[in-house]
Amino acid sequence: MTNKQLQSAIRELKKLKIGLFNKDFLLTWEHSDDEIKAATLVTDILKEMHKAGISTRLFDTGLAISIFRDKSTRTRFSYASAVNALGLGLSELDEEKSQIAHGETVRETANMISFLTEVIGIRDDMFLGEGNKYMREVGADVQEGHEKGVLHRRPSVINLQCDIDHPTQTLADLMQLKSHFGSLENLRGKKIAMTWAYSPSYGKPLSVPQGIIGLMTRFGMDVSLAYPQGYDLIPDVIDVAKKNAKQHKGSFEIVESMDNAFTNADVVYPKSWAPYQVMQRRTELLKMNDKQGLTNLEKECLANNSQYKNWECDQKKMQLTKGGKALYMHCLPADISGVSCQQGEVSKEVFEKYRLATYAEAGYKPFVIAALIVLTRIQNPAAKLQSILKRKRNRAI
Amino acid sequence: MTNKQLQSAIRELKKLKIGLFNKDFLLTWEHSDDEIKAATLVTDILKEMHKAGISTRLFDTGLAISIFRDKSTRTRFSYASAVNALGLGLSELDEEKSQIAHGETVRETANMISFLTEVIGIRDDMFLGEGNKYMREVGADVQEGHEKGVLHRRPSVINLQCDIDHPTQTLADLMQLKSHFGSLENLRGKKIAMTWAYSPSYGKPLSVPQGIIGLMTRFGMDVSLAYPQGYDLIPDVIDVAKKNAKQHKGSFEIVESMDNAFTNADVVYPKSWAPYQVMQRRTELLKMNDKQGLTNLEKECLANNSQYKNWECDQKKMQLTKGGKALYMHCLPADISGVSCQQGEVSKEVFEKYRLATYAEAGYKPFVIAALIVLTRIQNPAAKLQSILKRKRNRAI
Amino acid sequence: MTNKQLQSAIRELKKLKIGLFNKDFLLTWEHSDDEIKAATLVTDILKEMHKAGISTRLFDTGLAISIFRDKSTRTRFSYASAVNALGLGLSELDEEKSQIAHGETVRETANMISFLTEVIGIRDDMFLGEGNKYMREVGADVQEGHEKGVLHRRPSVINLQCDIDHPTQTLADLMQLKSHFGSLENLRGKKIAMTWAYSPSYGKPLSVPQGIIGLMTRFGMDVSLAYPQGYDLIPDVIDVAKKNAKQHKGSFEIVESMDNAFTNADVVYPKSWAPYQVMQRRTELLKMNDKQGLTNLEKECLANNSQYKNWECDQKKMQLTKGGKALYMHCLPADISGVSCQQGEVSKEVFEKYRLATYAEAGYKPFVIAALIVLTRIQNPAAKLQSILKRKRNRAI
């Protein structure tokens, strides 16, 4: 991107109708096409500024909070990178996995951590029906705190992965597709295969496949979702995908074989997940702390999984894709056969071929998070980005 | 606060005799009235600057260390917010609860963490006779390090809660009172009921009630301390309260019923604590790692506590206060009957009425901590605050 | 150091041939004499700037990552101080001790944490043959990531202690010697006794003694390494020391008594370590998670250690040194007889006499780390340091 291109991206941004200021970002499908487009533009702009060595600092001081209710390395560092790039300081609130606090405790904590806070990033994907709900609760609590004069500013809550969606991941995926095909417009008519894949573990979240079908159907893509019988996603999200496909003149189908989905695909995204009915049972067992029940469920699920070991993305399956050279995508870490496990989601050969592409895909995430912070914290993002471009401050002083 | 009021606060600050530069802040009663007043003025100034979106950055780089010898969320985030607002980076030294290091280890560690450090915030409230002593040890160690040329600067130690006092909390409480009654002068003649309250747990620190009676007696308030027989505070602090009340022409009394203390009170602060004799026994048992002894002590104390379940701040008791509308205060989290426990310190109705007021009370704490850093690190705080007001740098650039 | 001296140090720096830009710093003996000298000059310059209250911020934003595969307080805070002083934000990646990740996981993680990262500091000293190897792996991985367009910048890996060397410690030790004797040139002909000392623990890393004999032999010092039979260091490093001594016209000897090494020494560095053969066996047992084997090994080693309790640096031994007043050095924490243990590396009297000197020695470490960051991240360090001196920005604004 030249400076001219940066300027043109900012001009494009200026034209969009964006209503994200002081709001939360929890599900991509709650936001308008203009807002999603704005997110991609700001991501591009910030990434190019970083590449050019231009400082993207927008805050002299201020806090960004992260709440990780699950272990995380990747997202943790993406968030840390994003908030640092904007000049915010990071404070992490680590909660035990099992501690699902609700009600007064959440209400109080949400305010207690927010007195000088701009943004709260939350990852909570273990319990079906809980993660997104918790984020909304935090958002409502700081809203009340701000309205009642407790908080000078109303921090924005950003979903760093919940039980329903993983917007910072899928927007990074979208950036990868935008880069791969040249523009968002070029995605129209391209086929993406979002398919289940075998993994020797069980209980992986649904947020990525759900997020992908919810987002990519908005760009006129032909979205083919494939999974073995019983590995259903949350029905409401299926409805979102259907509605989006219809509205944006793309298509959405559910098929029962990887081969079927891969056939003629431009993009493949093979990834393990647990059936949502299993996640529901698991959530109940976790809540009751029923260890025997959890062990039994794991055994049952792994036995079930093992029927579908052939759901592996290998070279033979890749041959089915358009010209045999679809773009392989993954949110990482992938279960790579013969590398990170005996048999997994993807063969060693296929992964190695696309390894650096998946790194590049992940490389968008810090900038996506930064973009969502810019859009939710800055009233006029185009003008602000213009002004930090103009000030020509180098990141290395 | 208008800009004019900010200017007037700075002028007021300029008149005060402040000797806190390069010193520690461990107990409010070790500091002069002018210094306490300065703390309230700087708190107000920093809070108003934050509200107005003005950057309060005073350091281009520099470290703030925190040492938490107990779990903490609230204070941790207040400290993180405060140091960030001044431009310092935060590094946390987490010690195991049980590890009470003394002597050479403390002396060495205090210097090792201080080479580029401005301030060391310490929370150590579990062991009677230990927390405050430890803070003084750290202070003496960095003093020696500075005098002997090991440290370029002598960092200040700030008490984030010890076994004796909790100055950042009680100064936040004082700010809440100042705001509620309009000025510090208006506190004269107001009655505050600092009373024990029932909680289903035991072993809560004494620092808040001790800090409150040690601080509020300096403003001519009528301080009424109430607790069931046996729930004594440290005798030395009682003496401080008596002396302060006499000197500042207020009053201090100890009564044996919540009703008595609440009667005609302008402010009530009902909060559980453990008798100091129990804390002494507990400290010994903890030191000997006597688990059976600790279990027995807990049983004994909970049984004793349970005699006083009627020490709950409910609507009926609130009716005893002046006009039935005293200000309810709490350092949070409160044990709320029917919300966070079956029966606790305060009824659901009373707490809900004052919930946002307690959030606002807590909201002073980050700015109190920042104010203590400003006063201990900056030689001429009034001039410095004047200059950062003049530079008109926005926090969001 | 006056401003004139700072200017002269910068001029000296300008003359040196430095090839560290975008490189890693893993072993002192991989770097030229000019580069080592540059490290000492930049350390001095940064330390003096800090002392004078001048801001050393070189980055407006940017991340520094630390990976600690062992517990650490001292190095953790030195690193935190260093990166803060340069304006970088710190993110820590904490791995479990036992988790020795290699291959794909390392390759992926190295890239995932590096998208906006300037520097990665790693401490990994527990497993012989592993720590340094791991650092090289990370370096190679980010090199690939940068070359293949995944990373905008190629972060530098800095060794914060491995199984072979501890360069930030030994460079701090070198600074202490430079300060003690007035200049690096004055080290020529001075005798340093790097000797094993008794400790009631076992399994201490070899990195400090190895680093000392590998570095100090480059300054024409007479390096006397002493240890009881069987407490050998890694043979390759012994070869490095021999080669260095020959090349720089100093000397290197291995003797079998502390007395022998101390005799006529200008500097003594008595410190416990485990024989490298023991470390090899321990590494195998740790890898196999053989707890019984580890317990047996510990017993055997402690029994062996206990034969050498007289390897203690006491006043009598100090009398053997030049004029009885050699400089005592230690990387801290020392095992001090009668203080931190019953019997240990050094007597109470000797340690107390040199206690503040060891603190001052440690005080160089944050600035050494900062210097290595400057040298590996800035293309023209002399010009950059000149420019931040010129801008005359105070650290306390």
Q: Give the model confidence (pLDDT) of B87-129 as tens digits.
A: 999 999 876 543 445 566 899 999 999 999 999 999 999 888 9
Asked if the C-beta of C61 comes within 8 angstroms of chain B's C-beta atoms, the answer is no
Minimum-distance CB partner of B73 among A93, A117, A148: A93
- The answer to whether residue A151 neighbours chain B at the CB level (below 8 Å) is yes
Contact of B94 with chain C, judged by CB distance below 8 Å, is answered with no
pLDDT band at C20 (very low <50, low <70, confident <90, very high): very high
Higher model confidence: residue C277 or residue C28? C28
C339: chain B residues, CB-CB within 8 Å: 103-104
User: In the predicted model, is pLDDT for residue A100 greater than 70?
Assistant: no
Separation CA B328–CA B308 (nearest Å): 20
pLDDT band at C197 (very low <50, low <70, confident <90, very high): very high
Name the percent of chain A lying above pLDDT 70: 97
Question: Which pLDDT value is given to residue C348?
Answer: 97
Using a CB-CB distance cutoff of 8 angstroms, which residues of chain C are in contact with residue A76?
Answer: 91
Please state which CATH number belongs to domain A169-362: 3.40.50.1370
pLDDT of residue A102: 57
Average pLDDT across chain C, whole number: 94
Q: Which of A300-304, A366-370, B56-60 has the lowest mean pLDDT?
A: A300-304
Count of other CB atoms within 10 angstroms of residue A236: 10
With a cut of 90, say whether residue A83 has pLDDT above it: yes
Radius of gyration (C-alpha) of chain C in whole angstroms = 21
Q: What is the mean pLDDT of residues A126-151?
A: 95
- Single-letter amino acid code for the residue at C385: L
Q: Give the Cα-Cα-Cα angle B122, B123, B127 (nearest 5 degrees).
A: 125
Cα gap B136→B126, rounded to integer Å: 16
Chain A positions touching C59 (Cβ under 8 A) are 395-397
Whether residue B77 and residue A93 make contact (CB cut-off 8 A), yes or no, is yes
Which among B57, B60, B150 has the least Cβ separation from residue C363?
A: B150
Token reading at A181 = 């095909």
- Side by side, the strands of the sheet bearing B327-328 are B251-255, B222-226, B191-196, B267-271, B327-328
pLDDT category of residue C99 using cuts at 50, 70 and 90? very low
* Overall average pLDDT of the A186-202 stretch: 96
What's the pLDDT at C78? 97
Q: Decide: helix, strand or coil at residue A225.
A: strand
Task: Give me the helix-helix angle, A167-181 and A365-377, nearest 10°.
Answer: 110
Q: Supply the DSSP string of B267-335, one letter for each residue.
A: EEEEE----HHHHHHHHHHHHHT-HHHHHHHHHHHHHHHGGGTT--B-HHHHTTSGGG-PEE---S---
pLDDT band at residue A276 under the 50/70/90 scheme? confident
pLDDT digits (tens, 9 = 90+) for B255-308: 999 999 999 999 999 999 998 888 889 888 988 889 999 999 999 999 999 999
- State chain B's mean pLDDT as an integer: 94
| In chain A, alpha helices (H) | 3-15, 33-51, 74-85, 104-112, 131-147, 167-181, 207-216, 235-247, 258-262, 276-288, 291-305, 315-318, 348-363, 365-377, 381-391
Shortest Cα–Cα distance, C382 to chain B (Å):
21
Q: How far apart are CA C303 and CA C276, in angstroms?
A: 17
Question: Residue B134 corresponds to which amino acid?
Answer: Y
Residue C358 has pLDDT above 90, yes or no: yes
CA atoms within 13 A on the CB side of A355: 19
Give strand pairing partners of C54: C394
Best mutation target, A115, A119, A144, to test chain B (most B CBs within 10 A):
A115
Chain B residues with CB-CB distance to A151 below 8 A: 363
* Cβ <8 Å between B397 and A58: yes
The complex's ipTM?
0.95
Task: Find the Cα–Cα–Cα–Cα dihedral A244, A247, A253, A258, rounded to 10°.
Answer: -60
Looking at the complex, does the CB of residue B14 fall below 8 Å from at least one CB of chain C? Answer: no
At residue C282, the pLDDT reads 87
pLDDT exceeds cutoff 60 at C52: yes
**Taking a C-beta distance cutoff of 8 angstroms, is the pair B326, B267 a contact?**
yes
Partner A contacted by C316 (CB < 8 A): no
Q: Is pLDDT of A309 > 70?
A: yes
CA B105 – CA B110 distance, rounded (Å): 8
Closest to A113 in 3D by CA, of C334, B309, B78: B78
What pLDDT score was predicted for residue C96? 54
Using CB atoms, which chains have 3+ pairs under 8 A with C? Answer: A, B
Which of C94 and B387 is assigned the larger pLDDT?
B387
C196 touches C344 (CB < 8 A): no
Can you give the pLDDT at residue A95? 66
Name the residue facing B111 among C51, C85, C359 (closest C-beta): C359
Interhelix angle A3-15/A33-51, rounded to 10 degrees, is 160
Please tell me the number of Cα atoms within 13 Å of A324 on its side-chain side.
5
C-alpha C173/C-alpha C357 separation (Å) is 11
CB B298 within 8 A of CB B332: no
**CB < 8 Å to B72, chain A:** none
Contact in structure between A278 and A204 (CB atoms under 8 Å):
no
Output the pLDDT for position B101. Answer: 57
Which chain A residues touch B361 with a CB distance below 8 Å? none
* DSSP track, B35-99: HHHHHHHHHHHHHHHHHTTB----BSS-EEEEEESS--SHHHHHHHHHHHHTTPEEEEEE--TT-
List where CATH 3.40.50.1370 sits in chain A.
Answer: 3-165+364-391, 169-362
CA A328 to CA A268: how far, in whole Å? 5
Looking at chain B, which residues constitute the CATH 3.40.50.1370 domain(s)?
Answer: 3-165+365-390, 168-362
Task: Give the model's pLDDT for residue A101.
Answer: 57
Cα(B134)–Cα(B151) distance, rounded to whole angstroms? 20
- In three-state secondary structure terms, B120 is strand
CA B112 to each of CA B61, B217, C166: distance values in angstroms, whole numbers, following the listed order:
18, 39, 17
Site of tokens 């017993």 = C299
Q: What CATH number was assigned to the domain covering residues A3-165+364-391?
A: 3.40.50.1370
3-state SS track over chain C: CCHHHHHHHHHHHHHCCCCCCCCCECCHHHCCHHHHHHHHHHHHHHHHHHHCCECCCCECCCEEEEEECCCCCHHHHHHHHHHHHCCCEEEEEECCCCCCCCCHHHHHHHHHCCCCEEEEEEEECCCCCCHHHHHHHHHHHHHHHHHCCCCCCCCEEEEEEECCCCHHHHHHHHHHHHHHHCCCHHHCCCEEEEEECCCCCCCCCCHHHHHHHHHHHHHCCEEEEECCCCCCCCHHHHHHHHHHHHHCCCEEEEECCHHHHHCCCCEEEEECCCCHHHHHHHHHHHHHCCHHHHHHHHHHHHHHHHHHCCCCECHHHHCCCHHHCCEECCCCCCCEECCCECCCCECHHHHHHHHHHHHHHHHCHHHHHHHHHHHHHCCCHHHHHHHHHHCCCECEC
Question: Residue range C22-37: average pLDDT?
Answer: 98
Q: How far is A397 from chain C (nearest CA, A)?
A: 5
Q: Is B396's Cβ below 8 Å from some Cβ in A?
A: yes
For residue B322, count other CB atoms closer than 10 A to its CB.
15
Which residues of A are less than 8 Å from B86 in CB distance? 61
Judge whether residue A200 has pLDDT over 60. yes
Q: According to the model, what pLDDT value does residue B96 have?
A: 54
DSSP H or E run through B143: helix B131-147
Q: Which of C116, C118, C119 to mutate to test the interface with A (most CBs of A within 10 A)?
A: C116
User: Do residue B148 and residue C340 have CB atoms under 8 angstroms apart?
Assistant: no
Question: What CATH architecture is B168-362?
Answer: 3-Layer(aba) Sandwich (3.40)
Residues A332, A362 contacting (CB under 8 angstroms): yes
A41: left (phi over 0), alpha (psi -120 to 50) or beta: alpha
The pLDDT, as a whole number, for residue C102 is 57
Interchain CB distance below 8 Å, A60 and B359:
no
Q: Quick one: pLDDT at residue B276?
A: 86
Query: Which three-class secondary structure state does DSSP give residue A122?
Result: strand
The answer to whether B104 contacts C77, with C-beta atoms less than 8 Å apart, is no
CB distance B28 to B348 below 8 Å: no
In Å, what is the CA distance from B193 to each residue of A100, A124, B198, B309, B379? Answer: 35, 42, 15, 18, 37
- pTM value is 0.97
Could you tell me if A333 lies within 8 Å of chain C, comparing CB atoms?
Answer: yes
Rounded distance between C-alpha atoms, residue C310 and residue C295, angstroms = 25
CA pair distance A361, A347, nearest whole angstrom: 19
pLDDT higher than threshold 50 for residue C98: no
Q: Given CB atoms, is C359 within the 8 Å cutoff of chain B?
A: yes
Query: How far, in Å, CA of A396 to CA of C383, rounded?
Result: 13
More confident residue, C301 or C120: C120
Low-confidence ranges of chain B (pLDDT < 70): 95-104
Contact criterion met (CB below 8 Å) for C176 and C253: no
What distance in Å separates residue C388's CA from the closest CA in chain B?
A: 13
List of chain C residues whose C-beta atoms are within 8 Å of the C-beta of residue A360: 149-150
Peptide bond into C275 cis (omega under 30): no
Smallest CA–CA distance, residue B364 to chain C, in Å, is 24
The CATH code of the domain at C3-165+365-390 is: 3.40.50.1370
Q: How far is CA B168 from the centre of its chain?
A: 3
- Which sign, positive or negative, has the C-alpha torsion B324, B327, B329, B335? positive
Cis check: omega of the bond before A333, within 30 degrees of 0: yes
